Amino acid sequence: MPSILIGPYLLRNQPGPFRKILSDAGFELIDPEGDFALTHEQLQSYLPRADAILAGGERLTADLFELAPWLRVVARTGVGYDLIDLRAATSRNIVVTITPGTNHDSVAEQTFALILALSRNIVSNDRTIHARGWDRRLVAPVRGRTLGLIGLGRIGQAVALRARAFGMKVVACDPLVDDRIIEQFQIKRLGLDELVAESDIISLHLPLTEATRGMVDRKFLAKMHPGSLLINTARGGLIVEADLRDSLVSGHLAGAGLDVLNHEPPEPGNPLLGQPNVVFSPHIAGTDLQSMSDMAELAARTIVELYHNRWPAACVVNGDVRLGWRW
């Protein structure tokens, strides 16, 4: 009987359609105990007997793959795979899959939750009232302001749709997106420097790669409007956190809404901790009740498809392993 390791702690020992899909296909499910992402030591313990892993926020490295002779599939719940050593997986003929189209609405909702929390002073007003204060200072509306989207995939499009409903102007930088999408969402396409110069709020929606790592640095931030906002629900590594801290402390940026950080949970010395004009959330943008169920179900289906030697091309990241691949 093939076995599958359940990685995300939100899914371990929990019911759901994904569990029935895997059980009906003949898989034994391995559910480690714990309420956090699997540690390196836990992965070292469980991966050697796993044929597949339904993965969440685990860092899957080359040394772990070397310990897992039976591993055939890493099925990621989500669309990011920067925590997976893709080259090492491919070299060992391990298929890596993602779950496109399952959590973009959830990320878009969290993006707007952060935009509104900052724009309307939600967090600071709440703290003030709890402290027996009453601060009714005026705030700037989001209507009429320009939202700049860096990245216009499914998530960026979902954010654009909501921005239009709020009466915002939307500009975007994404050279790969089709012109039909630009027209459909009434978006103005700009180059990166033009977008930074024109936007009142910038929201990041692009993957973490060697080209994008640290792209939001001191120079980038200096080009943003004085008093503008930065939102990141993509990947923490896109931002140089010390540079963002300096921009916030100086008052150049009015605030930042961050669902992701370079190290999660943040280390005690994180330069952004304690900054009053930063609103955090704990990397939950893509995981509400519905999206978590949808991601787990699609990940399970991709594993079953591969087990039956069918190729779910829309979900496979490293298609190079297809030639001659069999379970």
Interatomic CA distance for residues 111 and 105, integer angstroms = 10
- Judge contact between 96 and 89, C-beta under 8 A: yes
Mention every residue, 6+ apart, whose C-beta is less than 8 A from residue 137.
121
Residue 203 lies in a domain: yes
Residue 327 lies in a domain: no
Residue 10 lies in a domain: yes
**Of 225, 235, 245, 301, which residue is the catalytic one?**
235
Residue ranges of the chain with per-residue pLDDT less than 70? none
Q: How many residues does the chain have?
A: 327
Q: Are residues 179 and 274 in the same domain?
A: yes
Residue 134 lies in a domain: yes
Q: Are residues 95 and 177 in the same domain?
A: no
Reply yes or no on whether 235 is catalytic. yes
Q: What is the pLDDT of residue 324?
A: 83
Q: Are residues 316 and 299 in the same domain?
A: yes
Q: Are residues 142 and 250 in the same domain?
A: yes
Q: Are residues 124 and 66 in the same domain?
A: no
Residue type, 292: M
Residue 14 lies in a domain: yes
Q: Are residues 139 and 127 in the same domain?
A: yes
Q: Are residues 151 and 167 in the same domain?
A: yes
Q: What is the pLDDT of residue 71?
A: 98
Interatomic CA distance for residues 322 and 39, integer angstroms = 30
Token pair for 22: 């895997």
Which tens digit of pLDDT belongs to each residue from 192-228?
A: 999 999 999 999 999 999 999 999 999 999 999 999 9
Domain, as residue range, for 206: 104-280
Reply yes or no on whether 40 is catalytic. no
Q: Are residues 240 and 270 in the same domain?
A: yes
Q: Are residues 112 and 254 in the same domain?
A: yes
Q: Are residues 146 and 157 in the same domain?
A: yes
Residue type, 111: T
**Of 12, 72, 154, 283, which residue is the catalytic one?**
283
**Of 40, 264, 267, 310, which residue is the catalytic one?**
264
- Judge contact between 55 and 7, C-beta under 8 A: yes
Cite the DSSP H helix spans in 85-238: 86-91, 104-119, 122-130, 154-165, 179-184, 192-198, 218-223
Residue 249 belongs to what H/E stretch? helix 241-250
Look up the pTM and report it: 0.92
CATH number at residue 123: 3.40.50.720
Reply yes or no on whether 164 is catalytic. no
Interatomic CA distance for residues 126 and 133, integer angstroms = 9
Q: Are residues 110 and 236 in the same domain?
A: yes
Residue 326 lies in a domain: no
- Judge contact between 115 and 257, C-beta under 8 A: yes
Number of domains in the chain: 2
Q: Are residues 224 and 90 in the same domain?
A: no
